[in-house]
Every structure is written in C-alpha cells, then in structure tokens.
Amino acid sequence: MKRIKFLLLLLIPVFSHSQKPSLKKIELDLFEASNKLYSFNYGSFDSIEKYCEQLRNKTIEALSKNPATLKYPFKMLIDSNAFEIVTSEDSLFRIYSWDKWTGGTWHFYDIIYQFSSKGKVYTEPLVLEEGDGGAFYSEIFTLKNGTKTYYLAVSNASFSSKDAVQSIEIFSIENGVLNKNVKLIKTGEGMIGSISVEFDFFSVVDRPERPLKLIKYDKNKKIIYIPVVYEDGKVTNKFIQYKFNGKYFEKYKIL
C-alpha cells in the first residue's frame, strides 16, 4: 500500500459505559449495513458510495462508543465474510477491514484500527490517498522483546484478477498512540517497517488456504519468511528469512 494519512480527529478514547446497546445488537446492525452495501454491488455507483459511507460511519461509531467491542468475537461478521477481523494474541490490537465493492477486479477496502493503551480503548480509521485501494488484513503475529511488544500484520491487496500484493507491516502501541511504521527490518537500503511481495495470483490459485499464507512467521524462532517470487510473478517454494536478533530483523538465509 502507499503511505496513508490518518484522520486524527477520529482517534477517540472511550470512557463511558452507560446506556449502550448490546454487543450482539451492534453486530446485527453492522451485518445489516454490510448486506445493504453488498446488495448494491451490481447497482449504481451512487448507491454503492452511499452505503459504503453508511457502513464506515456506523462501524466507527460502534467501535468508538463501545470499548468492549475490542474483545467481542463478531462471529457473524467473520463467518459471513462481511468483515475481516484479526486480533493480536494479547487482545490489545485489532484490525477491521472489508471490501467496499466500488471496484471490479481492483478491490478497494475500508480499514479501521482498534487498540488498548493504559486501560483506554481507541478507534483509528484510515483515510487513504486518492488512488490507493488499501488492503484487507488476514493475520497478526506478536513479538515480545523485553518491555516492548510489536505486532506483525499481514495485509493483502488485489489490483486485478492476476496482480496481487501481500505485505507484512510492523506496529506498536506507545502511550496511547499506534505507531504504524516501526522500522524494525534491516535491509541493504536501511531500516524499514514493512516488506511487500508482488505476485501472480494464478501461480498460487491451487493452494487450498484462503486467505493465502505466502508470508509466514515463526514466533518461536522469531523468523519472518518472505517467499521468493520470479520476475514473471510466479511464487516459488523458496523463502528469504529475516531473523530477529534482539534489536531488529536482519536477513538470515535463503532456503
């Protein structure tokens, strides 16, 4: 993804717990809003944009006003594929993403981060740059290093039926702020906060898992596995390994 801008006015700490709808009711409302958007998938563009905005606003409001949503399973939304919702092992960081259905084979997504810091729950939606379709998030891995906790999130973007990108991005939570570009990977060009792999979807279409798990992470060995991809986009069975040395990830070996 391109570097994104964040709407800081919507970074909202939540305190009040009174007079709130049940979490099940919240889930049903979001499910219905998602169904309205999906029902206009083949309708007019104006209708799609209208229901995209409604779903986004409704989700931001529900998460912002109800901190308990951070740990609610949202099983209906996940099982119906209405939302992709991934949560860290410590339940302090969660990413919500969903297809806006405003493109064709190039998919556009809405993304919202939710996280807890010092007992407060924050909701942070993204505002993407024009022409950036965003991505959906499929996994979050957790790396603990002393008092620091890092979150390694896998995102997936699709630009056509053939051209796709999978990335691993590193986050941390620091004093009520979500750091979205933790430069923890050492490369020949310097320290970076994410690695992306462009690939031909048809070279891996026969793999059974969905979403695809091209980028892997071994939490015990603290190794990120980045698949080697040929120039034509074909994904190979080889991996470039980046191993955490106690300070940062550095290239370890190619297997």
Boundary (domain end) residue, out of 98, 128, 158: 128
Judge if 115 and 1 occupy the same domain: yes
Judge if 61 and 153 occupy the same domain: no
Boundary (domain end) residue, out of 64, 94, 128: 128
Contact in structure between 217 and 223 (CB atoms under 8 Å): yes
Angle made by CA atoms 74, 213, 192, in degrees to the nearest 5: 95
Distance from C-alpha of 164 to C-alpha of 177, rounded to nearest angstrom: 30
| DSSP character at residue 222 | T
Judge if 181 and 104 occupy the same domain: no
- Write down the pLDDT at residue 220: 97
**SS3 at position 119:** coil
- Write down the pLDDT at residue 127: 84
Domain residues for the domain of 63 are 1-10+20-128
Provide the residue count of the chain.
255
| Lowest pLDDT segment from 20-24, 100-104, 107-111 | 100-104
List pLDDT tens digits, range 27-75. 999 999 999 887 765 555 567 888 899 999 999 999 999 999 999 999 9
Judge if 87 and 209 occupy the same domain: no
Classify residue 15: in a domain, yes or no: no
Strands of 25-162 (E only): list them.
Answer: 84-87, 93-99, 109-117, 120-127, 136-145, 148-158
- Write down the pLDDT at residue 12: 45
List pLDDT tens digits, range 194-233. 999 999 999 999 999 999 999 999 999 999 999 999 999 9
Distance from C-alpha of 215 to C-alpha of 217, rounded to nearest angstrom: 7
CA 183, 184, 190, 193 dihedral sign is negative
In the structure, what pLDDT confidence band is assigned to residue 6 with cuts at 50, 70 and 90?
Answer: very low
Judge if 30 and 140 occupy the same domain: no
Classify residue 63: in a domain, yes or no: yes
Q: What pairing do the DSSP bridges indicate for beta strands 216-218 and 148-158?
A: unpaired
Distance from C-alpha of 145 to C-alpha of 190, rounded to nearest angstrom: 21
Residue 25 has pLDDT above 50, yes or no: yes
Classify residue 146: in a domain, yes or no: yes
Distance from C-alpha of 109 to C-alpha of 134, rounded to nearest angstrom: 5
- Write down the pLDDT at residue 17: 44
Judge if 121 and 162 occupy the same domain: no
Write the Ramachandran bin of 101: left for phi over 0, alpha for psi from -120 to 50, otherwise beta: left
- Write down the pLDDT at residue 103: 75
